[in-house]
Amino acid sequence: MNSSKGAVMALGLVCLFAVPACGGTSSESSASPSPAAACPPNTKDAYAKAVLGDGAVAYYRLSDASGAKLCDASPRKNDGTYATSGLTYQQPGALKGVSDTALTADGTVNPATSTGYVPVFGAVDFTLEAWFKTTSKLDQMVVDIGQGGTGRIAGIGPSTAKGGICGSLPDAVAFDTWDGYFTGDASSVGINVFDGAWHYLVGSYTQAGGGSVDLYLDGKLLATTKVSDQPATSVVRIGYWVDTFCNSPFAGSIDEVAIYPTALSAAQVKAHYTAAGR
């Protein structure tokens, strides 16, 4: 996403901003392959069962040890690599009552990248889901798929007008499509996404009616807007965007990243949030 010129839309208590496209210098991950390591089964808790039960085709729990490979807990086993610096492993995670841990990034690196392509591309429904916590007031991506270009990419993350380039709200979350930066006002439901606490973010996209996305924050529907998007074939990028024109590398903690080949419903999103002990 690029520029801050936008059209303001309202949906109940929610403010939506569509801002034109993002260009800039490429920041595709430069992570080096890490030593081969086994990915132990780690899917017995209620949250993991909910994610896999709803058909996730990529599921990164981010509980790997330093030096291990990025493990995909979905049946596809699309593992990957971590950056070789700037990361702290096995930090306290988002899920209550579960020993599963999270990844912390210092905002200077592209944290993690899958090795293979995610099977979500073209004119399909899909969902991006993740937990994050940060105090860094910048436009940041938690997870994205696709390639640079109009309607060929999709990502979700926290957004702000303070220190940000494309964000127009001081306390928001965004669904970025390169040619549109669509944000929901977190403050309208009393949430501060930069408070250093864990927050659950979902972008559920459907192609019906020309395309639309539902943005959920902490289990609540925050925003709905019309947008056409058909992600190109790509790897999964965790904690960074394809360039840094708008979205900075993530500074904070990320946990439980999942991608689905369907648009999760409000009931499914709520069930996942509840399964996390929230």
Tell me what the mean pLDDT of segment 217-246 comes to: 95
CATH code where residue 202 lies: 2.60.120.200
Amino acid identity, position 79: D
Say if residue 27's pLDDT is above 70: no
The string of pLDDT tens digits covering residues 172-218 is 999 999 978 899 999 999 999 999 999 999 999 999 999 999 999 99
CA dist., res. 37 & res. 146, Å (int): 27
Amino acid identity, position 192: N
The string of pLDDT tens digits covering residues 98-135 is 989 999 999 999 999 999 999 999 999 999 999 999 99
Say if residue 167's pLDDT is above 90: no
Tell me what the mean pLDDT of segment 9-31 comes to: 36
Structural domain boundaries enclosing 243:
7-23+44-275
109 occurs within a structural domain: yes
How many structural domains compose the chain?
1
Say if residue 35's pLDDT is above 80: no
131 occurs within a structural domain: yes
**pLDDT level of residue 163 (50, 70, 90 thresholds):** low
| DSSP characters over 107-154 | SSS--EEESSPPS--SS--EEEEEEEE----S-B-SEEEE-SSTTSEE
Beta carbons of 230 and 108 less than 8 angstroms apart: no
73 occurs within a structural domain: yes
Share of the chain above pLDDT 70, in %: 85
pLDDT for the residue numbered 26:
40
pLDDT for the residue numbered 31:
40
223 occurs within a structural domain: yes
Of 68-77, 232-241, 263-272, which gets the smallest average pLDDT? Answer: 68-77
169 occurs within a structural domain: yes
**pLDDT level of residue 150 (50, 70, 90 thresholds):** confident
Percentage helix, strand, coil for the chain under 3-state DSSP, each rounded to 5: 10, 35, 55
Tell me what the mean pLDDT of segment 56-63 comes to: 97
241 occurs within a structural domain: yes
136 occurs within a structural domain: yes
145 occurs within a structural domain: yes
Closest CA to 63 of 84, 92, 27: 92
